[in-house]
Amino acid sequence: MKSKILFVLFLGIINLQAQVKKSTTPVKKTTTTATTAAVVPGIFATITTSKGAIVMQLEYQKTPVTVANFISLVEGTNTFVTDAKSKGKPFYNGLKFHRVIKDFMIQGGDPSGNGSGGPGYKFKDEFTDLKFDKSGILAMANSGPGTNGSQFFITHVPTNWLDGKHTIFGHVTKGIKVVNTIAQDDIITKIAITRIGTAAKVFNATKVFSDYYANKAEDDKKQAAIAAENQQKQAAVEAEAKKVYFEKYGAVIKAKAAYFATLKTTATTTASGLTYAITQKGSGIKPVDGFTFYFHYAGYFEDGTLFDSSMEEVNKTYGKYDANRAAQNGYQPFPFQAGKKDGMIPGFLEGLNVMNLGDKAVLFIPAPLAYGERGAGGVIPPNATLIFELEITATAPAPKP
């Protein structure tokens, strides 16, 4: 995942939301019921759709507040819903799966139908030993820590990178094929709850959620303290990892920083503020607008630290080599059309424009021509000057055997 994030840094941050076309293959409609799958004690939710039924077992003992929220919304007993049109009614009936990403997940539960809506309140995360280690995981969608509401998603495949980021509160016990046939804008006809066994029957969702909200202020303080402690621990781990990294690669990093500092003294600065140096001249032929050329890059901070490169050897030199990326042929030059005015940060576009085919160059891109005050992707900090080593060619190199 990190390599994907790094790849889009200069190409622009993209929205990963996507649509999938509805299947043209007729799907046999099923008449699955909750009791069919509920052969063991527990609480089960059955989502009825035009494609069939999806039966899920809810983890009410491990994630009681999240399950209580879901059930009380399903049954229309959640008193904290703020919209008068939804209050006191089955919340999910008639809503659509507004976001579907093939081979990832289906997402629903938004009354606005576009991913921006909810019940009018937010509640805490409940992270347990449950993992995104299989298909059919039921979890809460969110916009960050402690922002759960009504939106949920069901996975198509294992998605382990979501562990500790989204509360898992159930899993599909029957109907995974239905999950895989759901298309964007398919409707949730209704959701029904079935309780099997004594413990399940005494679980009072309305009371559990109301009790949570009655003590929410105190609970928020506890959660904030836990979060602060976890942040301190994570910071310590990262600091130690950084120390070990610099002990091994510090000399390479310092040498690169010194090289850049010297090079910049003789470089050319444009009216926009971009500073560049052609370090190796090529053919002298500038690509005409519309011509597709290829470029390799290596991106650094001013202290000489590498944050990403399309070149395998550079990544190895800086201890950033990723075998998975290599296996996916991820260390390759990128095609780009000459004259294109978007798709990259302004300084990068301007830098490409001053180069001829076969040239190698170093670009010193100030923050206003890069990512400014916001930074990017958790990798580029705010107000960062970026330095790129570039090489452009007329053709792509032959792939490795």
In order, the DSSP letters of 142-165 are -SSTT-B-S-EEEESS--GGGTTT
* Cα-to-chain-centroid distance, residue 65: 25
pLDDT at site 397: 67
Residue 117 in tokens:
């809506």
pLDDT at site 39: 63
* Positions of the chain with pLDDT under 70: 1-39, 397-401
156 is catalytic: no
Residues 342, 292: Cα–Cα separation, whole Å? 15
pLDDT at site 227: 82
Residues 309, 321: Cα–Cα separation, whole Å? 9
58-91 pLDDT, tens digit each: 999 999 999 999 999 999 999 999 988 899 999 9
Do 78 and 118 meet the contact criterion of CB atoms below 8 Å apart?
A: no
7 is catalytic: no
3-state class (DSSP) for residue 62: coil
Dihedral (CA of 164, 165, 170, 171) sign:
negative
Do 69 and 148 meet the contact criterion of CB atoms below 8 Å apart?
A: yes
- Of the residues 104, 127, 291, 334, only one is catalytic, namely 104
pLDDT at site 95: 97
142 is catalytic: yes
Backbone angles phi, psi at 216, to 5 degrees: -60, -40
Beta bridge partners of 49: 52, 188
pLDDT at site 16: 30
- Of the residues 162, 263, 334, 356, only one is catalytic, namely 162
204 is catalytic: no
Burial letters for 178-193: b for 16+ Cβ neighbours within 10 Å, e otherwise?
bbbbbbbebebeebbb
pLDDT at site 9: 46
pLDDT at site 396: 76
pLDDT at site 388: 98
| Structural domains present in the chain | 31-214 (2.40.100.10), 250-393 (3.10.50.40)
Helix, strand, coil percentages (3-state) for the chain, rounded to 5, are 30, 25, 45
